[in-house]
Amino acid sequence: MKPIDLRSDTVTKPTPAMRAAMATAEVGDDVYGDDPTVNALQERIAAMLGFEAALFVPSGTMSNLCALMSHCARGDEYIVGQMAHTYRWEGGGAAVLGSIQPQPLAQQPDGSIPLAEIEAAIKPDDVHYARSRLLALENTWGGQVLPLPYIESATALARRRGLAMHLDGARLFNAAVATAQAAGGDARSHARTIAGHFDSVSVCFSKGLGAPVGSALCGSQDFIARAHRWRKMAGGGMRQAGVLAAAALHALDHHVDRLDEDHAHARALAEGLQDLPGVTVLPPQSNIVFVDLAPPKAAGAVERLRAAGVLCSGSVRLRLVTHLDVSAADIQRAIAVLRATL
């Protein structure tokens, strides 16, 4: 039997319809600005999120790096969550390649950084200090939707103190779809509302949206012009990238609204594991389920699950991520395997 891969929503394979869109994409040399499909994607995502411009980049990591380097110069500082992807899981790129000092701050369980801590971390204008320039937030963070009132207050604080705002919205559309599910309304307008609080937003096409490659960085014309230079310098100038942009356009057309299926699957998975002794399931808000295991259960759990046909990541805390290539039937089978194995 085919293993059920819940390690990440990055493991999806392009659907036949997506492959067809890729195969028939009109292309040109994007380093010359000649690729019509890349240009269409950049215009589409910028308009969707309410920005002047966007830049197609190979990865979320490069997107965040270009964003940080476009906001901050050498000797500047950005304020970021201690467990934020940008700070923790991107090889320290902002510091290594951008000479940007990170100021990481502990996050609360919902992913927010307390406003008082942000305020206290902003350095005075004094030669002893790096220049505080930017606040970077992440949404969703650990599958959780950053509360909109928090984003509003953080933006107000940033504006008052002269900081720019960047959103690592790798899973922004999961946040928007979860918000639409909880509060009503349309996911696309929630995405625009969330994005509207930021000077720049990075979104991934290669996670829940199911494209093989690619992210977009959105911002003002000027900002994107700066980011474009950094992308080139980082080696992210791509040629006939329209074959990839076509996958992302297909994903925006067909894979945004269906994210609520992934969220329903995550809830079903969480409910199916609820009453297991020695197992604590964190209620999922989007497509990521965390499962805490009592130490005796944790030893070798990931390996035993793998042998039984369910792939997941973690150790004491398992991470199970639902996505396009996991069906309702797969979830039922995963629940049975997890229950038998744990």
Under the rule (CB under 6 A), what is the footprint of ligand PLP? 59-61, 64, 85, 138, 168, 170, 204, 206, 215
Tell me the three state secondary structure of residue 131: strand
- Buried residues in 89-102 as b, exposed as e (16+ CB within 10 A): ebeebbeeebebbb
Rounded least distance, CB 214 to ligand PLP, Å: 8
Nearer to ligand PLP, 7 or 123 (CB): 7
Tell me the three state secondary structure of residue 238: coil
Rounded least distance, CB 132 to ligand PLP, Å: 22
Please state, in angstroms and rounded to a whole number, the distance separating the CA atoms of residues 81 and 275.
33
Nearer to ligand PLP, 322 or 338 (CB): 322
For the record, the structure tokens of 303 come out as: 């390996």
Nearer to ligand PLP, 58 or 242 (CB): 58
Rounded least distance, CB 217 to ligand PLP, Å: 11
Rounded least distance, CB 221 to ligand PLP, Å: 24
Nearer to ligand PLP, 65 or 249 (CB): 65
Residue closest to ligand PLP, measured at CB: 60
Rounded least distance, CB 327 to ligand PLP, Å: 23
Lookup result for tokens 């995502």: 45
Please state, in angstroms and rounded to a whole number, the distance separating the CA atoms of residues 307 and 338.
11
Rounded least distance, CB 96 to ligand PLP, Å: 15
Rounded least distance, CB 204 to ligand PLP, Å: 5
Please state, in angstroms and rounded to a whole number, the distance separating the CA atoms of residues 194 and 178.
12
Nearer to ligand PLP, 42 or 139 (CB): 139
Tell me the three state secondary structure of residue 294: coil
Tell me the DSSP string of 133-199. Answer: EEEEEESSBTTBPPPHHHHHHHHHHHHHTT-EEEEE-TTHHHHHHHHHHHH-S-HHHHHHHHHTT-S
- Buried residues in 267-292 as b, exposed as e (16+ CB within 10 A): bbbbebbeeeeebebbebbbbbbbbe
**Cβ burial, residue 222 (10 Å; 0-12/13-18/19+):** exposed
Nearer to ligand PLP, 49 or 338 (CB): 49
Nearer to ligand PLP, 37 or 59 (CB): 59
β-pair partners for 270: none
